[in-house]
Structure 1
Amino acid sequence: MSGPVRTVTLNPAIDQTVALDTLRPGQVHRALAVRHDPGGKGVNVASCLADWGVPTIVTGLLGADNAAPFEALFAAKAIEDRFVRVPGDTRTNIKLLETSPGGTTTDINLPSPFADAAALAEVRRRLDDVAPDDLVVLSGSLADSLPDDTYRRLIGDLRAIGARVVLDASGAPLAEALTAAEDALPFCIKPNRHELETWAGRGLEDPVALLAAARALHGMGIALVTVSLGAQGALFVSGEGALHVAPPVLEAGSAVGAGDAMVAGLTAAVRAGASLEAVARLSTAFATGKLRHPGAHLPDGETVLALAALAAITPAQDWARRTTGPRQTAH
């Protein structure tokens, strides 16, 4: 088992979730409820890891003028705070959550505060005590002022130390990271279907093609490739093989942060030296358990383990050959 898990969040946010019955563009709405949570993908991952009892250190870039909600979360969950404070406010992300059957979530992400090369260098310095085999999670978007190759360069530095990097990113930062040499690639990535299609340069509605793309990423030198498929579950590809996991069916809940919970689950399982099947089960249990809890919080450990036991595991090749039907939305 390695040391504490580090999460790096270079564009955190205060998540303002507004619940309403149905979103009708151009009309006035009366909200049913509203909540504010300190967030950003790496912060959400750290919060779930702490709930599971994993020692966790957070760093990244945090606006100095509204850091209090983050500081309160870190104190409440005994998360070590190594965030670099930058001038200004951490951005707010507005999530419009429809509660009607079949409702969706609409995201409105506001601009981030300015961060320069010196601030990024300080984030890197605060990772200087990372040791070989330690897990470092790089998660989420980049602050608007940072270059697209930020993750690629940071992964290269961490790989040179011997750390295992879990990357959950999209768009140009993910594409840049995947152009690195084999010895500078992340240990694990978690694209959703759309992100995998973007990398592949083609649609992957066919499950066989989807699995082939995940295996191609593994073949490049990425030890663990996890593809989240929303209601269809997820694919897990490693040197042990390829598995599909279907989550247990639960009452509908908020899917906000479920992907981050999945990253936390796979990170916790990898840290414990778990098999591929155990990684798949715990990742799915974290994501499923989070659905019942607003904000980035897990249910109790007994509930998580029960959900892990209920996850249905199938060889990925068998799943791909028999799966048909409409494409599902991924988180």
Structure 2
Amino acid sequence: MNAVTDREKEILDIIRKDPMISQKDIAEMLGITRSSVAVHIANLMKKGAVKGKGYVLDDESYVTVIGGCNMDISGSPYGKLSGRDSNPGSVTFSPGGVGRNIAENLARLGLPVKLISVVGDDESGRRLLEETRAAGVDVSHIRKITGESTGIYLSVLDEDKDMYIAVSSMEIYDKLDTSYLLDKMPILERSRVSVFDANLSYDVIETALGMAQKNMKYLDTVSITKALRIKDLIGRFDCIKPNRLEAEAISGISAEGHSGLLKNADHFHEIGVSKVFISLGPDGTFFSDGTDRGICRALKVDIRSATGAGDAFLAGAVYAETEGFDIRDAAIFGTGASLINLASSDTINKNTSVESINKIMEGNYEINRI
């Protein structure tokens, strides 16, 4: 498809949200004439971005994310965190959820992305839908349920801005069941890449894997408990991103030292996973595709909040997949995405872009092949 202009991209974004919208309504939203909209749409049809009646879009390269969508509440002390005491500090509210965070990061990297999730019909749910839509994510496949509370993730950071403890209230995810997912089968089947987080039930993830069997499938394991819940499905993913403890829990093999990381990678490759990223915290990220293996580490890190950094990494790795990067370059790009996010007090850095990631990684990483 030929490159589209900024104005054409604005029109495509509007059409993605409402394929049956009139040219008159598009013109009013953008403050231009209806005839100008008609010209832009004609050009989009020539470029293959729009396929005609009903503005059917050329979405062959879109990414579908299926996972959590919740409100993040994060507290950070001004000084050293004191247990069992009231700590003066700051509290922030921001849209979160592993799946939602990945989807927003992907949208900010310029990829068409559809999010399948669930929220309550409450103020938090409405804010999540509004802000996620505004970031460029197609939220039309998110289920909204009356009488249910939107998921909440409450975290307390320590003096180093790293997560000290967290409480999650995610009962609403039980409402994203297989019957709802079956209605979304065409969306998953046509995705170029499908991204999962382990917040969802075993049955939902297993069903979705069957629908997305022809796609590249990426998994964020989220936590030890949630990773173990879907342990016997791990081999059906093309790429996984656990941290060191989650990898050990799934494989039953120590991930300490280079030898432990290699043994974990071998285990995952043997059961069917082609690409493995293991987060090592401040020590970087281990990567392996069975041939090229190593650790990518940033040399300079500005940390305002660690919340959402892992989600940003996986979004960077998915972007790398769509661009055909090898695993080493995917690790570098994912590391850059996480650095951009670490430098923001919000769950998602609004300045995330391909350009900002490339810039922050210039001379700011080392690769240790093992």
Q: CA separation of 1:61/1:299 partners in 2, compared to 1, >3 Å: closer, same or farther?
A: closer
4+ runs of 1 displaced by more than 6 Å?
none
1:191-250 deviation per Cα after TM superposition (whole angstroms, max 9, x unaligned): 100001112224322321222211220122111111111111111111552232111312
1:259-294 deviation per Cα after TM superposition (whole angstroms, max 9, x unaligned): 000010000000111122221111111011111112
Equivalent pair of 2:242/2:279 in contact (CA under 8 Å): yes
1:302 aligns with 2:342: no
Q: After TM superposition, give the deviation of residue 177 of structure 1 in Å.
A: 3.8
Match of 2:335 among 275, 284, 303: 284
Provide the secondary structure at the position in 2 that maps to 1:226: strand
Give the alignment of 1:151-300 within 5 angstroms. 151-159=205-213, 162-169=214-221, 170-171=223-224, 173-175=226-228, 177-180=230-233, 185-293=236-344, 294-297=346-349, 298-300=351-353
Q: After TM superposition, give the deviation of residue 181 of structure 1 in Å.
A: 9.1
Higher relative contact order (CA 8 A, sep 6+): 1
Q: CA RMSD in A?
A: 2.4
What's 1:84 paired with?
A: 143
Equivalent pair of 2:265/2:290 in contact (CA under 8 Å): no
1:156-215 deviation per Cα after TM superposition (whole angstroms, max 9, x unaligned): 3321xx011111124454345442496xx0111101000011122243223212222112
What's 1:93 paired with?
A: 153
Match of 1:138 among 186, 191, 196: 196
Equivalent pair of 1:46/1:57 in contact (CA under 8 Å): yes
Counterparts of 1:175 and 1:258 in 2: how far apart (Å)?
22
One-letter identity of the residue aligned with 1:314: N
Counterparts of 1:130 and 1:84 in 2: how far apart (Å)?
15
Q: After TM superposition, give the deviation of residue 79 of structure 1 in Å.
A: 1.0
Q: CA separation of 1:215/1:60 partners in 2, compared to 1, >3 Å: closer, same or farther?
A: same
Q: After TM superposition, give the deviation of residue 34 of structure 1 in Å.
A: 1.7
Which structure 1 segments of 5+ residues have no match? Answer: 318-331
Counterparts of 2:178 and 2:365 in 1: how far apart (Å)?
40
Q: After TM superposition, give the deviation of residue 115 of structure 1 in Å.
A: 5.3
Counterparts of 2:205 and 2:161 in 1: how far apart (Å)?
34
Q: After TM superposition, give the deviation of residue 70 of structure 1 in Å.
A: 1.1
Provide the secondary structure at the position in 2 that maps to 1:137: strand
What's 1:72 paired with?
A: 130
One-letter identity of the residue aligned with 2:110: G
Structure 2-normalised TM-score? 0.75
Match of 1:51 among 108, 112, 130: 108
Equivalent pair of 2:276/2:289 in contact (CA under 8 Å): yes
Larger Rg: 2
Equivalent pair of 1:248/1:307 in contact (CA under 8 Å): no
Equivalent pair of 1:86/1:115 in contact (CA under 8 Å): no
Q: After TM superposition, give the deviation of residue 62 of structure 1 in Å.
A: 1.4
Counterparts of 1:305 and 1:115 in 2: how far apart (Å)?
35
Q: CA separation of 1:303/1:180 partners in 2, compared to 1, >3 Å: closer, same or farther?
A: closer
Q: CA separation of 1:222/1:166 partners in 2, compared to 1, >3 Å: closer, same or farther?
A: same
Structure 1-normalised TM-score? 0.83
Give the alignment of 1:102-141 within 5 angstroms. 102=160, 104-114=162-172, 119-131=177-189, 134-141=192-199
Q: After TM superposition, give the deviation of residue 118 of structure 1 in Å.
A: 7.3
Q: CA separation of 1:38/1:133 partners in 2, compared to 1, >3 Å: closer, same or farther?
A: closer
- Identical aligned residues as a percent: 21
Provide the secondary structure at the position in 1 that maps to 2:276: strand
Q: CA separation of 1:36/1:232 partners in 2, compared to 1, >3 Å: closer, same or farther?
A: same
Q: After TM superposition, give the deviation of residue 106 of structure 1 in Å.
A: 2.8
Q: After TM superposition, give the deviation of residue 55 of structure 1 in Å.
A: 0.9
Q: Give the total of aligned pairs.
A: 304
Provide the secondary structure at the position in 2 that maps to 1:122: helix
Provide the secondary structure at the position in 1 that maps to 2:152: strand
Q: After TM superposition, give the deviation of residue 131 of structure 1 in Å.
A: 4.1
Q: CA separation of 1:117/1:68 partners in 2, compared to 1, >3 Å: closer, same or farther?
A: closer
Deviates more, 1:125-134 or 1:64-73: 125-134
